[in-house]
Amino acid sequence: MMRSAPLPILPGGGERGRRFDMSDFMSFRGLRPFLRQNLGWWVTATSALVLGSLACSTTATLDAPMVEADGERLLGAFVGGGPAEVVFRGIPYAAPPVGDRRWKPPAPITPRQGVQRATDFAPVCVQATQSASFYRHIAETLGQDPKLVSEPGPSSEDCLYLNVWTPNLGGKDLLPVMVWIHGGGNANGVAAAAQTDGARLARQGVVVVTISYRLNVFGFLAHPALTAESEHGSSGNYALLDQIAALRWVQRNVSAFGGDPDQVTVFGESAGATDITYLLASPLAHGLFHHAAIQSGGFAVSDFRTLGEAEAVGASFAEALGVVGSEAVLAAMRAAPAEDVRRAWLAVKKPGTNAPNVDRWVLPDATGRTFDEGKHNQVPLIVGFNTDEWTTLRHYWPDVTLDGFRQVLGTIYGPLADRAMELYPATSDAEAAAAADRWQTDWYFACPSRFIAERMARAGGPVHFYMFSRAVQAPGGERLGAYHGAEIPYVWDTLSVETWVPRQLYDQELADAMSAAWVRFAATGNPNGGDLPTWPAYHSGEEGFLQLGDTVRAGSGVRRGFCELFEELQSIRMADSS
């Protein structure tokens, strides 16, 4: 059962499962994973040589895992102790979006001949900035060495790859599939983060897929010349098209990995969760997934950016890149080195640069209005937020003053500003900084999540809402609270990889309960079961939710008052943008 009593702090990760010892080594059961872990390179290399010499062979030798996907034969690697527990890394799901394919929808791959080694992660997509700084700030706040946080791997424009963990290779009964869309503000982020290693989650009976997609300027540049070139009159939504292409890959191929293409769950955090919101609003994604989990996302419903507005940003980018006035502006932009492109994008100081637009193809309408009118893709949903999201996002607004805070509220809420100031009172700069933390957690996370839950529930779909409130129980933890992204290693059962975060024994109990709930949801569309207290379904009026924190308990009413004001403003904005 879940516990909440304080327990001794464990440095780094929490208590894990049984460790390998000599009695395991002396048994064949223990010897096989030991050999795979320590001789895996030799086994893989030898298998590849043998397979390469046997053009007609379809079976791997030396017990190496092999599968065929999109016309390619892929050699994977063993994880864990079972003969079917396998990972395939760096699988291409689309052609490299480089050269003439830069800023075009993803294209099918050309299958490579022979056996392809799928044991290493592919390069990450080009990052806008230093993505390790987020976790390093957390480590420093907790008094830990920031060097414990590793840098992302090498980057490349050639990055449309995915990774698959399966406990069911060769299994007759197909398992549910969970597809992860990573966060990072749509500017940064990777599919190969240690926190989202799929081995432990897959061991609970699911096939896990993590995908990369184009980021920042490479995923979201709109420009009049690109729109004119498109047969759909569209530009700027390449990241969403990448995600859709990856989901189509899953539909075509996941059964070869032991996964059920008719039981696919998409889940993601932050920008990844927001992109899932866009996918729920896109007719191109209809039928590609059957459940969705939106973790600290949903602010897509507040996005009303039109294609024309996005094109204006693209024109500023072209000017920063120095190709304005060129007769062949597209050729010039596509010929520019990736680093020059990245720097020019960062020089464009306009909001919404790393976000989709309403192009009438990928997104027929503003996402909030699509949900409000019930035109979204209806699937069972988990949606929620962390209670202190903004404590690790203050770099977006580092110097809050009382006057500045009141000005922001006045600008955003207009005729509703007085009510906003009553809900978020402040009389000094220090009080304004604290109020800004609360307001931005509501504005970007809590209230958009409630907006989505309301519309999905009204449309008749099962919705389960959560609030994650578990803070780190160590010095510095009180300054962070339940910060942005804190729930990720609980969902993935990977607490131990965050060696810069002190944990208690209870944290592992909470991770066990949460990861099991997400897996049950992937299998049935309902997270209830196990030792988890009853998680009430969300209904309009009742607004049931489950709090996942020092205790796990049901509640009702999601930031009432605060989110009711958000709803009123949202109605005004939807009417003004129609």
Contact 244, 285 (CB under 8 A): yes
User: Residues near 93 by Cβ (< 8 Å), separated by ≥ 6?
Assistant: 70, 106, 109, 160, 161, 162, 211, 245, 246, 249
Give CA–CA dist 363/373, Å, rounded. 14
Backbone angles phi, psi at 439, to 5 degrees: -60, -45
Residue 26 CA: distances (Å) to CA of 22, 42, 84, 202, 391: 6, 22, 22, 27, 50
Catalytic (active-site) positions:
270, 389, 484
User: Residues near 528 by Cβ (< 8 Å), separated by ≥ 6?
Assistant: 517, 520, 534, 535
Residue 83 CA: distances (Å) to CA of 41, 60, 174, 269, 561: 17, 13, 16, 31, 54
User: Residues near 19 by Cβ (< 8 Å), separated by ≥ 6?
Assistant: none
Q: Max CA-CA distance within the chain?
A: 77
Contact 548, 514 (CB under 8 A): yes
Q: Give the DSSP H or E segment for 364.
A: none
**Helix spans in 222-377 (H):** 224-229, 238-253, 271-281, 307-321, 329-335, 338-346, 367-372
Give the distance from CA 298 to its chain's centroid: 12
